[in-house]
Amino acid sequence: MIIKIVYDNKAMHGFKASWGFSCFIEHDINLLFDTGWRYSVLRHNMEKLGISINDIDAIFISHSHWDHAGGLKKLKLELEFDKTKIYVPPSSNLEGIKISNEEFLPNFISTGEINGEQSLIVRDKDKIVIFTGCSHNGLKNVIKIAEKYGSIYGIIGGFHDFREIDILKKYKIVMPCHCTKLKKEIETFPNAIECMAGKVIEI
């Protein structure tokens, strides 16, 4: 699995930083997790990472907040008709396929919506990687659901006001992105990776 951070408050040289989050997951299929806020920033960073619109097989939206789904409208206009499946939380008024806690594509599992937000669980053989938007659904709830699918290798995304950060030390990687109150504290952990648009991780 290759993970490319497309959108974050922080950016590497040559990439644009903007409030929001998005990442591109290359696995059995290529999935774009959230779209960030500004479409121009999303497109700029995608291009820099060598991701073309036609590479996107599926889009998973964690929740309908503007900083996660803001880029979706314009992105949809550029997608080839019918090719890309868009998965959205059931309570949102976004257009797309509404899913619950299920494996909606091989090795791609939604936690189901809790408090307006769903997180993504991606399985790579016996490893599980969790992707979160803002974690309005509570990171602890997400971890509990993900544990049923395998052993958690890493967590990437926004952790919101998650406080029991010490439990994150046991994972191989932890990447606190946009919307993580205790980001600085988590970044001191030896397993932490700094989140920035332009970063590529291979698992």
Residues that bind Zn ion (CB under 5 A): 65, 67, 134, 179
Token duo for residue 118: 């769903």
**Whole-number minimum distance, CB 63 to Zn ion, in Å?**
6
Q: Which is nearer to Zn ion, 27 or 178 (CB)?
A: 178
Q: Which amino acid is at 148?
A: K
- Those residues with Cβ within 8 angstroms of residue 77's Cβ, 6 or more apart along the chain or in another chain: none
Q: Which is nearer to Zn ion, 27 or 117 (CB)?
A: 117
Q: Which is nearer to Zn ion, 105 or 175 (CB)?
A: 175
Closest chain position to Zn ion (CB): 134
Distance from C-alpha of 168 to C-alpha of 162, rounded to nearest angstrom: 10
Q: Which is nearer to Zn ion, 65 or 183 (CB)?
A: 65
CB 160, CB 10: distance < 8 Å: no
Distance from C-alpha of 92 to C-alpha of 25, rounded to nearest angstrom: 23
**Whole-number minimum distance, CB 160 to Zn ion, in Å?**
8
**Whole-number minimum distance, CB 170 to Zn ion, in Å?**
25
Phi, psi of 142 (to 5 degrees): -65, -45
**Whole-number minimum distance, CB 117 to Zn ion, in Å?**
7
CB 49, CB 33: distance < 8 Å: no
